[in-house]
Structure 1
Amino acid sequence: MDYTSIFEKNGLFFKCSHLESDIFLSKFKNSDALSFCKYLLEAGNDFIFEKTIFDINNYWDYNFIFGIKIKPESKIKAQFLLQYKKLKENFPEAIWQYPGIEVQNYYSGTFSSILRYEIPKEEFSTELLKIYNASRNINFAHAHFSFEPKNKTILIENILLGYDLYELKLAEKLLRRNDEKQKQFFLQGNEIMPVLEKIQKLEFSSIE
């Protein structure tokens, strides 16, 4: 496999519809895909989870997207390039590039919560499942994972968005941690647009 093609294409992402999500997630966890993503995360790349919707007014018209954003400066062992190719063959849902989101109609009349916190690297799969469950009843969710090698923790930024403030707060409650270091922000209306533009580029929102 051409080593450079990975970096040109930006990563490996998996996509499934909400109707297939439970089966797909089980397949993903029970294959080498989860451990592979975890290795790439620890190698200096970013992991992305997203509930993305075609129509923000329609709760039943959405997909889940998750996978690795490859960083050019990261180091990947040759053995993992072969595994990378195998995953692409075994998961026809895999796509090379992050498909991005349409931001024009997302922010009008919506609310957004942003939670930023760290977890031990051993809790990666547990936290991913928690985020997946928290996203089920809100309109849009985006989680950005990055590895902190100094203290061997994973920094997560969760961006939750919806029209229903009650459902948004329930989702937020599922992800809230008993941790003084956790940062939380609340946005509404036009305040959300700059955050969505950051998501399009797969960047942290950097709200302080």
Structure 2
Amino acid sequence: MTRKRPPKSSAPRLASARRGVQQPGKLRIIGGEFRRRQLPILDSPGLRPTPDRVRETLFNWLGQQLYEQQVLDLFAGTGALGIEAVSRGAAWVDFVERNPRVAEQLSTNLASLNITASAVHVNDVQAYLTYPAKPYTLVFLDPPFHQQLAAPCCTALENSGWLDNEAMIYLETETSLAPKVPTNWLLHRETQAGESTARLYQRQAP
């Protein structure tokens, strides 16, 4: 009895299907100087990197506005958003992450890319936002879901001097939440992916 061999093309098709898929425990940088670099991330409860598709959409929205930006990445986690911003020309990024282990891995990844125009602050975001502020031109705000953190953080950003007159604010929340933001934040773009909704606001000086 002659055994049938699988078609020779089946293995290449499988390999092709896997190309470009983010590996487990890895963060892939999408564009800019560090495009396609993959960085290790911790398997930590609650660590939820912004999906590739959402990041790509966000940075398409921002376009050339990344150059020379002063960026604040709150609830930084893997640093996916802030690192992507540096890769695309941001002048400086402050990362705020309260989990020491996650913050340590983020610092290690920044060092592996020789990114020096950044700082990692191990702190609770709400506590950090009570410190004396400096104005940022771009803020990433991606709080843990279902903890009612978005509204108080938005209020603190607006009322405590953290935002440049025409700052852009990216806010990612669970889709079930209709976030309460300051009235002078105008919704610029919005998209949904799975259980999360991403919104980009443009601030107008009051």
TM-score for both structures, normalised by structure 1: 0.29
TM-score for both structures, normalised by structure 2: 0.29
Q: Specify the structure having the higher radius of gyration (Cα).
A: 2
Between 1 and 2, higher relative CO (CA 8 Å, sep ≥ 6) is seen in: 1
Identify the structure with the greater helix proportion.
1
